Amino acid sequence: MTRTRTGAFYLTGAALAVLFLLPMLWTVFSSVRGREAASGGDGWGLANYQRLLAYGSGLGTYLTNTVVVAVVAVSVTVVTTTLGGYAMVRLPFPGRNVLFLVTLAVLMVPYTTILVPLYILLGWLGLQNSLVGLGLVLAVLQLPFGLFMMRNSFDALPAELEEAALVDGCTITGALRRVLLRGVLPGIVTVALFSFLAAWNEFVAPLIFLTDGSKFTLPVALFNLQSGSLGSVDFGALQAGVVVSALPCVAVFLVLQRYYVRGFTSGALKG
Amino acid sequence: MVSLSPPRQSVRPAPPPAPRRDPISRRRSRLGLVYAAPMAVLVGTLFVVPLVLMVWMSLNHWPLLGASAPNGLTNYQALGDPLFLRAVWFTLKYTAVTTVVLGLIAFGLALLVQRNRRGVGAVRAVLFLPSAVGLASTSLLFYGLFTTDSSPLNELVRLVGLGRVDWLGSTGTALGSTVAMITWRFAGFYMLILMTGLQSIDPVLYEAARIDGAGRWQTLWRVTLPLLRPTLALAMVLSLTGSLLAFDQFFILTGGRHDTATVVIDIYREAFLSQDLGRAAAVSVATLAVLIVVNVAQMRLIRREGR
């Protein structure tokens, strides 16, 4: 195209990039501005982060809780959809179409509508106010996308790969473990990535299922900080908290960008 | 390659003239059941059971604490509650505005970044970046932008010489502010979906349109939009469902106060503030029924238009 149109593209692109980055930059900037700044004093430093560290049960507790929930959700999602996807493609069993349809139905039924019965059910199962219980619920929400992705991944592998392993004396499980897993690794990373982000960022489910303040995940703890349940709102600490909760997501995105696109192009992504 | 025959023949000599199923395929099918079991158990326990339980709960008086008792369809009176109807109206308004604004902006962005050229990857990445940040974190971030006097938004307003704007104060400003925030958060997400759609259109068609002397607008209306329809429909389904179920943004930005309460916030209120789980379940059943009808209708539409 002409040079002016190329120029227009770069100008628009740059302007948009700045516009999209500004809110984040402002938050990072405010998070390192000391409290004194408001009263005109000098104030650069980590005072906001120090107050955040000591907030409530402590930032460390909330971070650990969030990590526990994410690890449970990601590992359960990856293991069950890998096994399930493999079975769907290579081990025809009675009822697999029913299972596939029921799992996909999770997409059609937004989980916010079943939160109330889930709350009761988790109580019956002794999993209320439990990080593991929360992780399991979040895993179920990721199963449709995970199953779809893993089924397609196994489907894309040539059947001869497994046959060759069987000829070489592998058991079916051995063939899956030693040969096929490497082939579906990109699918596994994509599933892990999307379920990690969903679990890390989840707000409603932990808000409802976790009743004990020391069990809160980061988003719920920050919400409490914002709604001022412990006195007036500490904006500095809140902005520091937003940075802490967003940082892993941004980092993961920058490292694993191409897996996002993979998730999109598979056409099974639910927003 | 050795042979393309089914694995059972490579492991064993030719099977006897087949009974209904040979032992190997029976073993594989049993193994399949074992492999699929964890998923079946999870989906059964934490999806199918709650779904059934929800319908049952909606037919009972079910306090947060204490025993439940059957009470027929009484809970469904919650659907006539003025506060609920207000929430429905607000949710519909929010959904309509968000879908239109977000759709137009995302489409514009997709057109901008669809061509591969130097530096376009960086632009795409920056525009998509907010989508990686959680909705709750985004809401907390914008809460600071909208409410603190030291936020750049308010300083800008002061610079222009206007008085202080209460970004979240009235229903209207809260709606506008939230839509702006949601656009920031999701524009890159929908941009990427629409971009993959745009890139899958055969370039030959554009070439043909050019030869036929079609201008840019004509090409957009006659070639791009019709071929992009399935992708546009997918994006619209996602946006509609997402907005109809909005919770985080209003719960955090405005504390879910009555004039900005959405349907899901209303369900939350019935359940955990009024402590009436039966009524909450009734509202959930109704919401779900409507969503399923909407989803099925949309699927039909997509399928018909796809042809």
ipTM of the complex: 0.91
In which element (H, E) is residue B196 found? Answer: helix B171-199
Phi, psi of B276 (to 5 degrees): -115, 85
In a domain, residue A8? The reply is: no
Domain assignment present for residue A68? The answer is yes
pLDDT digits (tens, 9 = 90+) for A184-219: 999 999 999 999 999 999 999 999 999 999 999 999
- Per-residue pLDDT, A208: 94
Mean pLDDT, range A257-271, rounded to an integer: 69
pLDDT tens string for chain B (307 positions)?
Answer: 333 434 443 444 444 444 456 777 888 899 999 999 999 999 999 999 999 999 999 999 999 888 999 998 999 999 999 999 999 999 999 999 999 999 999 999 999 999 888 889 999 999 999 999 999 999 999 998 998 777 888 888 888 877 778 899 899 999 999 999 999 999 999 999 999 899 889 999 999 999 999 888 999 999 999 999 888 888 888 888 889 999 999 999 999 899 999 999 999 999 999 999 999 999 999 999 998 888 888 777 776 655 4
Closest listed residue to residue B247, CA positions, set B87, B132, B103: B87
Return d(Cα A180, Cα A177) in angstroms, integer. 6
**CA-derived radius of gyration, chain B:** 27
User: Which residues contact residue A128 at a Cβ distance below 8 angstroms, ignoring those fewer than 6 apart?
Assistant: A119, A122, A209, A211
Local confidence band at A114 (pLDDT 50, 70, 90 cut-offs): very high
Q: Which residue of B has its CA nearest to A113?
A: B284
| Pairing of β B69-70 and β B60-61 | antiparallel
- As to burial, measured by CB atoms within 10 angstroms (0-12 exposed, 13-18 middle, 19+ buried), residue B229 is middle
Higher pLDDT pick, A121 / B147: A121
Q: What is the CATH number of the domain that holds A27?
A: 1.10.3720.10
Touching check for A181 and chain B: CB below 8 Å?
Answer: no
Q: How confident is the model at residue A35, as a pLDDT? A: 57
Residues counted in chain B: 307
Contact residues, chain B, for A227 at CB < 8 Å = 255
Residue among A53, A58, A48 at smallest CA distance from A237 = A48
Contact between A84 and B120 using a beta-carbon 8 Å cutoff: no
Lowest mean pLDDT among A3-7, A153-157, A249-253, B186-190: A3-7
CB contact under 8 A, A249 and B134: yes
pLDDT of residue A270: 42
The verdict on residue A11 lying in a domain is no
The mean-pLDDT minimum among A4-13, A243-252, B276-285 falls in A4-13
User: Which residues in chain A have Cβ-Cβ distances shorter than 8 Å to B154?
Assistant: none
Task: Establish if A38 belongs to a structural domain.
Answer: no
Domains contained in chain B, CATH given: 74-306 (1.10.3720.10)
Prediction pTM value: 0.89
pLDDT at A175 over 90: no
What does the block give as tokens for B131? Answer: 């989508």
Confidence of residue A84 (pLDDT cuts 50, 70, 90): very high
**Neighbouring-strand partners of residue B63:** B276
**CB within 8 Å: B145 and A110:** no
Domain that holds residue A82: 20-33+43-268
Q: Averaged over A221-243, what is the pLDDT?
A: 86
Whether residue A5 is contained in a domain is answered as no
B interface mutation test: which of A72, A83, A116 has the most B CBs within 10 A?
Answer: A116
Query: In A, which residues are within 8 Å of B9 by CB distance?
Result: none
Which amino acid type is present at position B135?
L
Query: In angstroms, rounded to a whole number, what is the distance separating the alpha carbons of residues B123 and A18?
Result: 10
* Whether A209 contacts A128, CB under 8 Å: yes
Q: Helix and strand tally (H, E) in chain B?
A: 14, 2
CA distance A47 to chain B (A): 18
The pLDDT value given to residue B18: 47
List the single residue in A13, A86, A116 with the smallest CB-CB distance to B271. Answer: A116
> At residue A127, does pLDDT exceed 90?
yes
Residue of B nearest to A239 (CA): B141
B193 to chain A: closest CA residue = A264
CA distance A42 to chain B (A): 16
In this structure, is residue A4 part of a structural domain? no
Q: How many Cβ atoms sit within 10 Å of the Cβ of residue B175?
A: 20
Dihedral sign from CA coordinates of B36, B41, B42, B44: positive
- Tell me the residues of chain A between 227 and 246 that have a Cβ less than 8 Å away from chain B: 227, 235, 238-239, 241-242, 245-246
CA B75 to chain centre: 28
Written as one letter, the residue type at A261 is V
What's the domain count of chain A? 1
- Determine, yes or no, domain membership for A80: yes
Pick A143's closest partner by Cβ from B39, B48, B295: B39
Q: Is residue A67 part of a domain?
A: yes
Q: How far is B210 from chain A (nearest CA, A)?
A: 14
High-pLDDT (> 70) share of chain A, %: 93
